[in-house]
Structure 1
Amino acid sequence: MTRQEAARATISAAIASVATATFLLALKGFAAWHTGSVAMLGSLADTGLDLLASLVTLYGVRIAAEPADHDHRFGHGKAEALAALFQVALITASAGAIAWRAIERLGADAPTTDAEFGIGVSIVAIVATFALLAYQRSVIKKTGSIAIRADNVHYQSDLLLNLSVIAALVLDQFLGFASADPIFGIAIALWLAWGAFKASSHAIDQLMDREWPEEMRERFIAVAAQHPQLLGIHDFRTRHSGSHDFAQFHMHVPADITVAKAHDIVEEVEENLRREFPNVEVLIHVDPDGHVDHPGNALIEEEVVPHWFGKRA
């Protein structure tokens, strides 16, 4: 998938998220008013924040899809991580509000009503949410979008919320367990807080330029090593930015070749990498075989042994 195709896919997923959240917000708003369920109210609050978060996600992925410009030479991909962190803040606020309302409800005698209606609404919400989750997962698999991943966490929580609402209404009205509704409300709040923590870690990793997973790094090196005149790699660094990736490394070539020949080798290595990693921007520095970088030239002190491929003369 090209960068343009990835951008279109993430924008489409964000639009689908906004449409789903709008529909569920209207449906759950009426259900919360009709049943008086604090679990349904918690689900409504989560969906309202989902809508706001989805709008932010849509804005974030649209910015991230913009090409690099004079002021942003590496593109705008980190707008996705910022949108994801905004979603995390909303999820955390939602969890706190739901927990507070549920604790208040524990000491009050305010039973829920019309469980059948609340259960019916929750089932409709489950179907709609499940369809959105399936679409989002397909987009995440293709693009790796951190913003859509965080939005997906929202709707995974929403799926669990709706199941919890059904359980709370059944226990409250049909089995006489009056405290079920606020207890499920507290459980929902804890689940949302845990989801916020997980979503934040992905966004922070991207903003802090965390290295690729080791398996992906090794596969990248293996592809580069296929060129017969590439003798070794060192100072290999990687990072994510939205649905784009960046990699840079020093490449050892035979010391007796011309600059033009070294350039040709770099072009050939880049072409091999481009076929296997189409959304990775690669920066290669050429070193003649036998050259050792001065330690003072490195931005960080590395204890990593250079990657040699056994091709040295």
Structure 2
Amino acid sequence: MGKHQAALLSIFSNSILIIFKLIAGIFMGSISVISEALHSGIDLLASIIAFFSIREASKVPDDEHPFGHGKYENVSGFVEAILIFLAAILIIFEAVKKILHGATIENTGAGILVMLVATLANFIISMLLLKIAKKTDSIALEADGMHLLTDVFTSMGVLVGLVLVRFTGLKIIDPIAALLVAILIIKTSIDMTKKSIVDLVDSKLPEEEVNRIVDIISTYPQVKTYHKLRTRKSGQRREVDIHLKLDDSTSLTEAHSLCNAVEQDIKALFPECYVLIHIEPYNNLNYSEV
């Protein structure tokens, strides 16, 4: 299954879960179940954003976007994180209102069944999305998978709350469970915001990946040293810019062949990678380092 099909699957599953959660929540008068329906509604919107961002990011480079469209995925992850945060604020507002003015809840059995089905469905689909996201290095699909994985834990929290209400009769447990759901959602939102911003502001690749690039360069004895190594990530595409210093006696043909070899080795390590190599003479002390 490709990225586009996975995103469509997420849209379909969220749509079905919204309907069941909303019907059950209204029927029961449960703020925690309704908050879960709202959470799934935000996830549906996020899934739609992820689908279109993945489609845009897959487009080939053009005159206006010579480095490709990969940043669309990073923007998508950031927008999704903000949407999740807004959902958590709405849930907190409704839960506090229920605590202050009293909570009413009926027919907990229906809610328990719906939340159990939602938990299982979200777990299966989130694992599938995260697997494909890792395989394709898609931050938009990863964000979507994390949304659904958050749903798994929040649904479990609501499920436990409904079970406690059923056996204890303490209806205030329902809005308290909703507050716990909101806290988990906020944490997910913060984590996702940090992850998406890292690439949006062109931070360098993780140290482990940079070291692997340096290891590749070190395998070539013709390279005396290197400097100005710059890296960043755009969607699933990595970009590497480096200056290599070769002995003055190296011919243009030899330097060209060396650059091709280094570039191919880096692309073998990171298939979606743009590599720019600048060659400098090693022994020319008058050569500008700027």
Normalising by structure 2, we get a TM-score of 0.95
Alignment of 1:50-69 (within 5 A): 50-69=43-62
Q: What CA distance in whole angstroms lies between the structure 2 residues aligned with 1:10 and 1:159?
A: 21
Are 2:288 and 1:294 equivalent residues in the alignment? yes
Q: Tell me, in whole angstroms, the C-alpha distance in 1 between the residues paired with 2:119 and 2:158.
A: 11
Give me the whole-angstrom Cα distance separating, in 2, the residues matched to 1:277 and 1:153.
24
Mapped to 1, the partners of 2:82 and 2:11 lie a distance apart of 18
Q: CA deviation at 1:231?
A: 2.0
Residues 7-156 of structure 1: pairs in structure 2 closer than 5 A: 9-156=2-149
In the alignment, structure 1 segments of 5+ residues that lack a partner are 1-7, 298-313
Following the alignment from structure 1 to structure 2, what is the Cα–Cα distance between the partners of residues 40 and 290?
Answer: 71
Q: Deviations over 1:108-164 (max 9, x none)?
A: 233211111111111111111011111112112212211112212211221112111
Q: In the alignment, residue 175 of structure 2 is paired with which amino acid? A: P
The code of the aligned residue for 1:104 comes to K
Query: Is contact 2:74-2:199 (8 Å) kept?
Result: yes
In structure 2, give the amino acid aligned to 1:290.
N
For structure 2, the 5+ residue unaligned runs are none
CA drift of 1:78 comes to 0.4
Deviations 1:173-230 (A, max 9, x none): 3212221011111111111111111000111001001111111111111122222312
SS at match of 1:252: strand
Q: Report the equivalent of 2:194.
A: 201
> How much has 1:82 moved relative to structure 2?
0.9
How far apart are the structure 1 equivalents of 2:265 and 2:284?
25
CA contact (8 A) 2:103 2:174 kept: no
**Residue number in structure 2 paired with 1:281:** 274
> How many Å apart are 1:13 and its aligned residue?
2.1
In the alignment, what sits opposite 1:305?
none
> Do 1:224 and 1:272's aligned partners in 2 also have CA atoms closer than 8 Å?
no
Query: Does the CA-based 8 Å contact 1:39-1:164 persist in structure 2?
Result: no
What CA distance in whole angstroms lies between the structure 1 residues aligned with 2:37 and 2:61?
A: 39
| Deviation per residue, 1:12-60 (Å, 9 max, x gap) | 2211211111111111111112211111011000000100110011001
Q: Is 2:219 the counterpart of 1:230?
A: no
**Kept in 2: contact 1:36–1:112 (CA 8 A):** yes
Contact 1:98 1:186 in 2 (8 A): yes
Matches within 5 A, 1:236-275: 236-275=229-268
When normalised by structure 1's length, the TM-score is 0.89
Q: How many residues align?
A: 289
* CA-CA distance at 1:291 after TM superposition: 4.2
> What percentage of residue pairs aligned between the two structures are identical?
29
| Conservation of the 8 A alpha-carbon contact between 2:84 and 2:189 | yes
Q: 1:277 & 1:93 partners in 2: Cα distance?
A: 36
Shift of the alpha carbon at 1:256?
1.0
Amino acid at match of 2:282: D
Q: Would you say the 8 A contact 2:224–2:247 is kept in 1? A: yes
Separation (CA, whole Å) in 1 of partners of 2:284 and 2:204:
26
Residues 231, 238 of structure 2: 8 Å contact kept: yes
CA distance in 2, matches of 1:187, 1:131: 23
223-232 or 159-168, larger mean C-alpha shift: 223-232
